[in-house]
């Protein structure tokens, strides 16, 4: 039935894949878009999606107007998480226009704030401000929509030398995390793979009559960096320490991400701005949507070692 069709854009991402797994399991007909480049990069997720019941995979570029028009035909619900492949603002607007034309009744868009609108001198983060621009456009065209603002992914942590969330393995077997965040200022955290799907599914079940136009801070724990390291220490049964310091880049990264990191260092390091801006609170609304979240200690104990092993690391043995 078309009324059970759910369109998901960027379904190989952590947010989209989480929703696809949950929604297909409870009987939604999931129309799962994946970008060809990401299908090649995230091959295991793309393969999993093709094997799920009630999932139709549509692969192609979101710069293809014909593909975008075809995505929403007969659908009444959609979850959109655009990423920085191509012109994200143009793609976001094209998706919204196509959804409105097709008669989508509830459009859940994964947005983020543009801190420059909140206070003079605060920088815009380039990978976030484009989402905020698209959010405002969605509001302008009158598409019934809800906007989820996701916290920092627990899943960002790795002992590989990637910037900002490197949980660095020390010679004595302990871990150390260095980042520009204030050690005692709480930040919002989210296990994206575990918790986005159930939360967004509840938003869709409640419908636009409850959530249209609303911004929801999707995070389940407010933890300081010190508390994050304490949770890792309990979960891994190894010492874990936090040090406030500048972001170091030891591996090649895209120029856009480098600009994002520079902005994060200014916004949350120098200015200690609230992560979601001044108007969005967490985790109260997120907990009303879904109470069975996976916290940081559980993530560190049960998931972090598995993700590390999948990356070829052996410290857990």
At residue 254, the pLDDT reads 87
Q: How far apart are CA 267 and CA 129, in angstroms?
A: 13
Determine the pLDDT at residue 106: 98
Task: Give how far the C-alpha of residue 151 lies from the chain's centroid of Cα atoms, to the nearest Å.
Answer: 7
Predicted TM-score (pTM) of this structure: 0.95
pLDDT tens digits for range 171-210: 999 999 999 999 999 999 999 999 999 999 999 999 999 9
Checking if the pLDDT of 2 tops 60, the result is no
pLDDT in tens, 116-145: 999 999 999 999 999 999 999 999 999 999
What is the average pLDDT across 64-92? 93
> What is the structure's pLDDT at 38?
52
| pLDDT level of residue 40 (50, 70, 90 thresholds) | low
Q: Is the pLDDT of residue 36 over 50?
A: yes
Question: 42: pLDDT confidence band, cut at 50, 70 and 90?
Answer: low
Q: Tell me if the bond preceding 293 is cis, omega within 30° of 0.
A: no
pLDDT band for 76, please (50, 70, 90 cuts). Answer: very high
Find the mean pLDDT for residues 83-112: 95
pLDDT of residue 1: 36
Q: Which of 234, 247, 148 is nearest to 196 (CA)?
A: 148
In this prediction, residues 43-57 reach a mean pLDDT of 92
Max intra-chain CA distance, the chain = 59
Using alpha carbons, list the distances in angstroms from residue 189 to 148, 182, 222, 296: 14, 15, 6, 8
Average pLDDT, the chain: 95
Which pLDDT score, from 0 to 100, does residue 255 have?
Answer: 83
Strands 215-218, 145-150: pairing is parallel
Q: What is the pLDDT of residues 283-305, one digit of tens each?
A: 999 999 999 999 999 999 999 99
CA angle 184, 185, 189 (to 5 degrees): 115
């Amino acid at each position: 039935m078309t009324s059970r069709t759910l369109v998901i854009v960027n379904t190989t991402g952590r947010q989209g894949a989480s929703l696809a797994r949950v929604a297909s399991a409870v009987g939604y007909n999931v129309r799962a878009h994946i970008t060809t480049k990401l299908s090649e990069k995230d091959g295991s997720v793309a393969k999993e999606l093709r094997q799920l019941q009630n999932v139709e995979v549509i692969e192609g570029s979101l710069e293809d107007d014909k593909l975008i028009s075809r995505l929403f035909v007969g659908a009444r619900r959609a979850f959109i998480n655009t990423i920085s492949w191509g012109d994200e603002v143009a793609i976001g607007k094209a998706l919204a226009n196509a959804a409105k034309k097709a008669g989508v009744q509830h459009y859940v868009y994964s947005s983020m704030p543009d801190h420059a609108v909140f206070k003079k001198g605060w920088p815009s983060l380039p990978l976030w401000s484009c989402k905020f621009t698209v959010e405002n456009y969605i509001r302008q065209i009158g598409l019934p929509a809800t906007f989820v603002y996701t916290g920092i992914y627990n899943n960002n942590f790795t002992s590989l030398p990637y910037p900002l969330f490197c949980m660095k393995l020390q010679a004595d077997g302990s871990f150390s995390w260095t980042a520009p965040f204030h050690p005692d200022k709480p930040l919002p955290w989210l296990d994206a793979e575990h918790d986005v799907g159930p939360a967004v599914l509840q938003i869709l079940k409640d419908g636009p009559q409850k959530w249209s136009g609303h911004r929801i801070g999707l995070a389940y724990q407010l933890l300081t960096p010190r508390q994050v390291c304490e949770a890792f220490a309990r979960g891994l049964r190894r010492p874990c320490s936090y040090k406030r310091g500048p972001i170091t880049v030891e591996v090649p990264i895209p120029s856009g991400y480098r600009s994002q990191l520079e902005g994060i260092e200014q916004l949350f390091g120098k200015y200690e701005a609230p992560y979601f801006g001044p108007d969005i609170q967490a985790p109260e609304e997120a907990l009303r949507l879904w109470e069975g979240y996976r916290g940081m200690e559980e993530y560190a104990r049960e998931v972090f070692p598995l993700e590390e092993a999948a990356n070829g690391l052996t410290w857990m043995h």
